[in-house]
Amino acid sequence: MSPPVFLAGADALERGTVVLDGPEGRHAAAVRRLRPGERVDLTDGAGLLAECVVTAADRASLTLDVLARHREPPPAPRIVVVQALPKGDRGELAVETMTEAGVDAIVPWAAERCVTRWRPERRDKALGRWRATAREAAKQARRTRLPEVPDLASTEDVAARIADASLALVLHEEAGAPLSGVEPPAAGDIVLVVGPEGGITEGELERFAAAGGRAVRLGPTVLRTSTAGVAAGSVLLAATGRW
């Protein structure tokens, strides 16, 4: 069985002995009930992994000796999914599955036809849920790099990302070109836009096309917005050789 993964600061991981406390330490000691002699991996969430063994445990923290360190290089190319806000808790489902698959950034997008709206007074809380979901899913998937979850994007923000990308793709059920036929670049950002349940408007499609986005079809069936991102991301991860 693989060792559990917990988050720790980069400075702490450079030492020979690490004290894991705070929420991560409490979870490791009180929930996982890890004890001396057990193996644990610690990561800073930015590519550094420390293989450790528990040397002491109390009710709220662990003391660990570092056995070895590994640094994972940045992914190339990066897979960035622009995710229109789904209804209810399906947003967290989309974040969880895309994180587990290996997507590098998940950008929440306030598309025109989104039923869900992050009102200003609730935006921080909603964004916090997405980031917490990404963090916990990354630990479960044993990732050394947490996916980026930036602030809520407008359509103009998405168009700017498309313009800066090495490749930008917009999922659309009426597109002629299949996603599986796209030749991905070797580096840079691949931006993938996933629309809401009601679909991307013609105005949004035109804006994204003007910025350099290409409309592509995922397959013969229409997926929900909360599952389209992980399906399309998986196709790209395989095409780039990262899978």
| Residues pairing with 22 in the sheet | none
Give pLDDT, residue 162: 98
Q: Please give the tally of structural domains in the chain.
A: 2
Give pLDDT, residue 1: 75
Give pLDDT, residue 239: 96
Question: Which of 23, 41, 71 finishes a domain?
Answer: 71
57 and 149 in a single domain? The answer is no
Instruction: Count Cβ neighbours within 10 Å for each residue of 4-33 and write b for 16 or more, e otherwise.
Output: bbbbbeeebbeeeebebbeebbbbbbeeee
196 and 139 in a single domain? The answer is yes
Give pLDDT, residue 76: 96
Global pTM value: 0.94
101 and 163 in a single domain? The answer is yes
45 and 92 in a single domain? The answer is no
101 and 218 in a single domain? The answer is yes
Report the CATH number at residue 34.
2.40.240.20
46 and 117 in a single domain? The answer is no
Question: Which of 43, 71, 99 finishes a domain?
Answer: 71
90 and 171 in a single domain? The answer is yes
Taking 70 as the pLDDT cut, the residues of the chain under it are: none
168 and 101 in a single domain? The answer is yes
168 and 99 in a single domain? The answer is yes
Taking the CA atoms of residue 74, residue 78, residue 83 and residue 88 in that order, the dihedral angle to the nearest 10 degrees is -30
Range of the domain at 41: 5-71
Give pLDDT, residue 88: 86
Q: How far apart are CA 116 and CA 169, in angstroms?
A: 23
Task: Say if CB 226 and CB 94 are below 8 A apart.
Answer: yes
112 and 230 in a single domain? The answer is yes
Give pLDDT, residue 219: 87
pLDDT tens digits for range 96-135:
999 999 999 999 999 999 999 999 888 999 999 999 999 9
Report the CATH number at residue 232.
3.40.1280.10
131 and 58 in a single domain? The answer is no
Single out the residue of 41, 29, 86 nearest to residue 66, CA to CA: 41
137 and 195 in a single domain? The answer is yes
Taking the CA atoms of residue 69, residue 75, residue 79 and residue 85 in that order, the dihedral angle to the nearest 10 degrees is 30
